[in-house]
Structure 1
């Protein structure tokens, strides 16, 4: 039965404290979808006497309208559960979710993707939602959630919702392969080799046009949070925060390894081996800069190699552009590592309110429904749609959409509600896209997650975004030669005096409590 509707709510944040105070995947037999027994990884089963046969779901909507078509009915048929989606437009999710939490007007499943939202974190730890960790082992797909993702999803030592799984670490170093070949250079795999490539791409005419019109690195205005942050990982800096040997939790920008990466990158910029306007370059401008062949090294997602190749269509780069996707970059004796850019592979929680799902047996029905959505058949429905209607598969196993408009209307709304994004990797006609997916999968073994993600600090929640502005400003000024490292250290001192030390103390206390 199709009962999707657009969730409407009124923002009543003043009620929040009162409300809070009150209270990729395995391939399984579709015939098991409607069975309310919970099956563990050893194959034994626990009889479930629940009569619950429907689920309501407050889900995020990233498309202009809720879905049409038959996907919802096919998901119901597979799982044996009637589903009512209450779609929350992504543009108003903060207001709508806050209102629902405040008034306790929730659904059986609530998608909470605002990981750092104060209201969400307070609600999760208030007792409103089930701690699902004791039950995950009863379900084959949920039991297979990686430990790193589970760790990233914990709050005060508990998991208040099924973690939504994403790729743990998606970044790589992208280098123009055709330019390497033009200059007779080997693919760089160390920071020192990468430096030489940056020089050569700037000074040795890699495109062979006889004009001094190329650079090595192409950076943009989000450098501190994106490209440079991932570069620091190769030097040994940790992901946003670092836990010292004595258990102190400090920001990674206080680590010597972070500052060493700054010195290295500033040298790249000072030598002219990076676009001079990086501090003000917008993301789309960076993409155009790369697509038109002005730069050949990018610190970005492995998937962007294909994106840049696609963006070059119609330019003089279309026939020549090719990319190396390098995910094994190392520096000196620092082991291979890759900072997670996706919160440790955790895209939020599928939280289950105790007021809506009151008994353990009913909880198991909801958990089994989520578990079953991670089987290959429903995952394909929520990602690609129905074969012959939304996509076709070629003899080479390539998945091609048949009609982008229909897919956008009938399939795309479900994509962000998949409990896991990695059940199946659908083969693309683009070899760069396929290689990018392979590199992202490889990164998981070497991923470094933020150790403070599951910790608590009231000062971090209320002041971090303001306090860190001085650090970010110091990075850009240092990069452009306006200040030296002593001045950057002075910015750290200001950060500490204005509340940063409180963040360190609170995170350190939270870490000690959880370990």
Structure 2
């Protein structure tokens, strides 16, 4: 990845080139009359696309690409770029004057800023008139569609990412051993954490367990709801939304963790603990409270825990009811990225239809029980049984991704009709983990979630200084929890954050919130 300042020097350098390129690209398409741009029936359309990848891309001439071209009657050129190099490559491509028909962007980081800037400069086609015709339109939450807007118009179609974020979970078998219930507020949480530390919840006769796992960067987040979280939920005296990490409400969480740490109920030396370290603390049976979610969990981790404690049962902790009456967790950002269309294709209705069909093919969510050769679309997307995949233990296993049409799609992440329809538990094999993931799904389906009003908006100061500003807050709060800094220095910490750029971040986000008619909402 390029250093932060390099991103901004590059953006400044290419700005005038991009404006010129947009004109050239538009001219490239506008040489046609309106009638010619509609395209001839059965014409083979050339479609260029660019996207990012974390893995080895498929071969340029694989059978999967040939299948895709034949099915849609197109000449499709999909350029995959390693994610770590993508922003630099995309900036150069956009400035070159040869803008691809379909362009992928990440939901966060410098490519997100590029999406915003390029859209404002007129590089992309407004897609509003097509959105209502998408069969998956209503599967995508309204706050995610809002994040696609620039100056009130939708320029991107989002790529699926689970709606629900990481939330706390607890050893229910330990609660049962001690005659306790899943906590419903911070006082009960403190009682449980201290009992896990002092009352031998695993019954081995030793004082070798404790309450909450905590690691560097104050992860996991033990806010137990949007009210106490880092979300932009509260407002300052000027009526501006502020980041939750500087709110008085967040201070209460830090005070609670400070008290528990002093009593030995929080991970010792937590500020030095990596994510792998904190995983080991929980799954080795040392601590009773950690975090999890429906996706990205680990069978080996749960197998380790069950091998040590065969009776282990882990359940989610529902959100606590906040003083304002709210009771729900924040949404995850809700989309991995998005795909924009070049403005040069405006009016070419047949070609646009082909591009939308490329997205539709990838966004099909095929239920787990139907992912077999009997499902025609599944079989085709995966390259036909025996050529692109084979069935093993009733699950599809890739043989050759070069034979799979889905490998060439700019967006191949199916979007389920509802979050529950994702049935993420089907991706695991450990019974205890399957049960936990089902319980996470049930919990999230039964509560409200908070949509942060800043989601999808841009603050250039945040892009430039955000990491350093966040470090000010996490470093200070870590010291407060560990007793190295008095909690009475909270206002001093906030003042430092604001003076070093935080107030500019708040100003920029609130201006964008106002311009886009946003507000924090519960869904």
User: TM-score, normalised on structure 2?
Assistant: 0.78
Which deviates more from structure 2 when the two are superposed, residues 177-186 or residues 125-134?
177-186
Distance change in 2, residues 1:469/1:309 (3 Å): closer
Quote the Cα distance in structure 1 between the aligned partners of 2:301 and 2:51.
34
Distance change in 2, residues 1:201/1:71 (3 Å): farther
Quote the Cα distance in structure 1 between the aligned partners of 2:443 and 2:73.
35
1:217 aligns with 2:216: no
Distance change in 2, residues 1:173/1:73 (3 Å): farther
Q: CA shift at 1:91, angstroms?
A: 2.7
1:418 aligns with 2:416: no
Q: CA shift at 1:304, angstroms?
A: 6.2
Which residue in the other structure is 1:436 paired with? 437
1:371 aligns with 2:360: yes
- The answer to whether the 8 Å contact 2:67/2:405 transfers is no
Which residue in the other structure is 1:20 paired with? 18
**The one of 340, 345, 350 aligned to 2:339:** 350
1:153 aligns with 2:148: yes
SS of corresponding position for 1:250: coil
SS of corresponding position for 1:227: coil
Distance change in 2, residues 1:401/1:456 (3 Å): closer
- The answer to whether the 8 Å contact 1:339/1:448 transfers is yes
1:124 aligns with 2:99: no
Q: How many residues align?
A: 471
- The answer to whether the 8 Å contact 1:306/1:433 transfers is no
Which residue in the other structure is 1:182 paired with? 177
Per-residue Cα deviation, 1:154-189 (whole angstroms, up to 9, x for no partner): 333332211112111232222123322332333334
Distance change in 2, residues 1:494/1:137 (3 Å): same
Distance change in 2, residues 1:412/1:56 (3 Å): closer
Which deviates more from structure 2 when the two are superposed, residues 95-104 or residues 424-433?
424-433
- The answer to whether the 8 Å contact 2:316/2:439 transfers is no
Quote the Cα distance in structure 2 between the aligned partners of 1:245 and 1:420.
43
Which residue in the other structure is 1:496 paired with? 498
1:170 aligns with 2:171: no
SS of corresponding position for 1:59: strand
Which residue in the other structure is 1:194 paired with? 189
Q: Map residues 80-159 of structure 1 onto 2, 5 A cutoff.
A: 81-113=74-106, 115-117=108-110, 118-159=113-154
Which residue in the other structure is 2:469 paired with? 467
Which deviates more from structure 2 when the two are superposed, residues 186-195 or residues 255-264?
186-195
Quote the Cα distance in structure 2 between the aligned partners of 1:301 and 1:214.
23
Q: CA shift at 1:490, angstroms?
A: 0.7
**The one of 285, 288, 293 aligned to 2:285:** 293
SS of corresponding position for 1:208: coil
- The answer to whether the 8 Å contact 2:303/2:430 transfers is no
Distance change in 2, residues 1:66/1:12 (3 Å): farther
Quote the Cα distance in structure 2 between the aligned partners of 1:408 and 1:498.
50
Q: CA shift at 1:103, angstroms?
A: 2.0
- The answer to whether the 8 Å contact 1:130/1:353 transfers is yes
RMSD across aligned positions (CA): 3.6
* Structure 2 gap segments, 5+ residues each: 1-8, 23-37, 367-375, 518-523
Distance change in 2, residues 1:505/1:19 (3 Å): same
Which residue in the other structure is 1:254 paired with? 246
Quote the Cα distance in structure 2 between the aligned partners of 1:76 and 1:468.
47
Distance change in 2, residues 1:258/1:292 (3 Å): same
**The one of 241, 265, 271 aligned to 2:263:** 271
Q: CA shift at 1:480, angstroms?
A: 0.8
Which residue in the other structure is 2:395 paired with? 400
Quote the Cα distance in structure 2 between the aligned partners of 1:454 and 1:237.
18
Distance change in 2, residues 1:361/1:65 (3 Å): closer
Quote the Cα distance in structure 2 between the aligned partners of 1:268 and 1:492.
23
More helix by share: 2
Quote the Cα distance in structure 1 between the aligned partners of 2:105 and 2:98.
14
Per-residue Cα deviation, 1:277-302 (whole angstroms, up to 9, x for no partner): 21110111222222221112103334
Q: CA shift at 1:412, angstroms?
A: 9.3
Q: CA shift at 1:507, angstroms?
A: 2.3
Which deviates more from structure 2 when the two are superposed, residues 469-478 or residues 142-151?
142-151
